[in-house]
Chain A
Amino acid sequence: MTAPSLGKDLLGLQSLSATQIQHILDTAEPFKAVSERRIKKVPALRGKTIVNLFFEPSTRTRISFEFAEKRLSADTVNVASIGSSVSKGENLVDTARNLEAMRIDMVVIRHGSSGAAQFLGERIRSNVVNAGDGKHEHPTQALLDMLTLRDHFGRLEGLKVALCGDILHSRVARSNIWGLTKLGVEVAVCGPASLMPLGVRDLGVTVLPRIEDAIAWADALNILRLQLERMESGYIPSVREYNRVFGVTAERLARAPKDLLILHPGPMNRGVEIDSDVADGPHSVILPQVTNGIAVRMAVLYLLVGEARDWAGAASAEGMEDSE
């Protein structure tokens, strides 16, 4: 069977076709089962070395990638910006080239600057996986959200999903918008006007200014984390005010015409963007999202490693080793 190629790197969902996204989600299915086995490991990436290069703090995403890598039998090294040469002012490419000189095969990168993953991918031979770059994209998070939606509804096409909260700063929102709209999902965004990017409608989404409207409209809510530092920068008046106007509460959900599926990429601010009785309620799939995260990341790593060979050959022919 011929499968659609993903290319060397996974940088975002904007650059992928519906077929490619579908193929990642389909490939995640058999990988779900691997984590349920007695021996949670397959030898697919045996002998591959993967560096998790995290320039921003992350617990969930880093651990999820690390589990995915280990369950594929890859060897992994974690490099955090604190306590490494990164904190001594070494630039991104130098760090990555030094790692590459140690004969690694893949880099999973999280970085505060939008475009960092692509910048790196263009300069090293190893596969690059974007684990979140600035306000740009967080493709594996969107993929796991989509997989969780598909698990629950049995399909994606025709669903209505509302992304709620800080859309302006959210790479999760961006990746979700790209991915969901490509697969025929109707997407709405809901949040304070101060946290709504200009021109968001051009991405093919509906803007719903009130959380009540989003709840009345959607089949599922993906509730984004309110980054508390936004309050200090004056985007919102107070956390309590935010909860009062935009918080997803059981009372608000009770007025919905149907039960809504509740997603949250984590970590949650309970009592701010989401109330505890919603987060722990019967329609919450927040923990299944975490489980699916490993399967999706295993699928991505597995698919990318198959792309490495041709690319490595082409790169050496072009003399990629030379610095530009």
Chain B
Amino acid sequence: MPGVTLLLDAQAISRALSRMASEIIERSQGTDGLLLVGIQRRGVELADRLAALIEQDQGVTLPRGKLDITLYRDDLQTVGPSPVVAETRLPDDLDGRTVVIVDDVLYTGRTVRAALDEFADFGRPRRILLCVLVDRGGRELPIQADIVGLTVRTGPNDRVDVRVRELDGRDAVELVSER
């Protein structure tokens, strides 16, 4: 029987996102050339919310992007049936921008590795930052997040589920562990 622990409820997610939005502005030293890119799927919704918070706070309009890393996965030759590919949409002028990659959960780091490779095919950002709602440890590559909502220790059999109201009807972060 899997046990479900609530890590963040809707309010806690909202507070975490507000803090993360401020940190993004701080780390990128303003909003000039700032581009938030969500990783499909739930990173896209989170990037959208962070961008909205920054826009509200700074009175600016921010460009958004979405990135699907499926075609850049390092396990594509071994995963079995080809996974569904979602849309990638980035502005044409990536060169010189500060790009913030937004994802829901950081785990092995392989998704971020794929994302970095994909960015290199689109252009040469001045700087890339990594922003995740949950860092659950367990890295298999030398990758770390710059901005984190919640850090939590998990085991290899655990799962961290991020629910967003746009897709799941509610906001929650849950730790699902096999007992």
User: Which of B77, B83, B117 is close to A47, meaning CB atoms less than 8 Å apart?
Assistant: B77
Binds A, one of B57-65, B84-92, B153-161, B167-175: B84-92
Asked whether B122 lies within 8 Å of A306 as measured between CB atoms, the reply is: no
A305: which of B82, B87, B123 is its contact (CB, 8 Å)?
B82
Taking CB atoms, residues of chain B closer than 8 Å to A255 are: none
Least CB distance from A110 to B in Å reads 24
Q: A30-B86, A43-B71, A43-B72 are in contact. Are A306 and B123 (CB under 8 A)?
A: no
Label chain B's interface by main secondary structure.
loop
Interface residue? A84 (CB, 8 A): no
A37 and B117 in contact, given A42-B72, A306-B80 (Cβ under 8 angstroms): no
Partner of A37, one of B72, B77, B87, B122: B122
B85-A27 in contact (CB<8A): yes
Q: Scoring A residues 163 to 194 as 1 if CB is less than 8 Å from chain B, else 0, what string do you get?
A: 00000000000000000000000000000000
Contact-residue bracket for chain A: 20 to 34
User: Which one of A1, A29, A43 has the highest number of Cβ atoms from chain B below 10 Å of its Cβ?
Assistant: A43
Give the distance in Å from the alpha carbon of A280 to the alpha carbon of B45 in the complex.
43
Q: How far is the CB of A34 from chain B (nearest CB, A)?
A: 8
- In the assembled complex, the CB of A186 is this many whole angstroms from the nearest CB of chain B, namely 30
User: In the complex the two chains form, is A5's CB within 8 Å of B81's CB?
Assistant: yes
User: Known interface pairs A42-B71, A42-B72, A309-B78. Does A33 touch B85 (Cβ–Cβ under 8 Å)?
Assistant: no
Contacts of B123 in A (CB 8 A): 38
B80 touches A309 (CB 8 A): yes
Within 8 A of B (CB), among A27-61: 27, 29-31, 33-34, 37-39, 41-44, 47
Contact A30 B87, CB 8 Å, known A42-B72, A306-B82: yes
Q: Does A67 contact B (CB under 8 A)?
A: no
Question: Within the complex, what minimum Cβ distance (angstroms) separates B141 from chain A?
Answer: 17
- In the complex, the answer to whether A303 meets B87 with C-beta atoms within 8 Å is no
Report B157 CB to chain A, min CB distance, Å.
22
Complex alpha-carbon distance, A30 and B121, angstroms: 15
- Inter-chain CA distance A47–B74, complex, in Å, is 12
Complex Cα distance, B84 from A5, in Å, reads 11
B residues within 8 A CB of A5? 81
Min CB gap A162→B, angstroms: 33
Give complex CA distance A7, B94 in Å.
Answer: 39
Q: Is the pair A33, B88 in contact by a Cβ cutoff of 8 Å? A: yes
Instruction: For the complex, give the distance between the alpha carbons of A303 and B121 in Å.
Output: 22
Cβ-defined contact, B80 with A310, below 8 A: yes
For B71, what are the chain A residues with a Cβ–Cβ distance below 8 Å?
A: 34, 42-44, 72, 302
User: A1-43 vs B: 1/0 string, CB under 8 Å?
Assistant: 1110100000000000000000000010111011001110111
> Counting CB contacts under 8 A, is A307 at the interface?
yes
Asked if B76 lies at the interface with its beta carbon under 8 angstroms from chain A, I say yes
Residues from chain A with a CB closer than 8 A to the CB of B76 are 44, 306
**Set B77, B82, B117: member contacting A302, Cβ < 8 A:** B82
Q: Which 4 residue pairs are nearest across A and B when measured between Cβ atoms?
A: A306-B82, A42-B71, A44-B71, A39-B121
Residues of B participating in the A interface, judged by any CB pair closer than 8 Å: 68, 70-72, 76-89, 117, 121-123
8 contacts between A and B (CB under 8 A): A5-B81, A29-B87, A33-B89, A39-B121, A303-B82, A306-B80, A309-B80, A310-B80
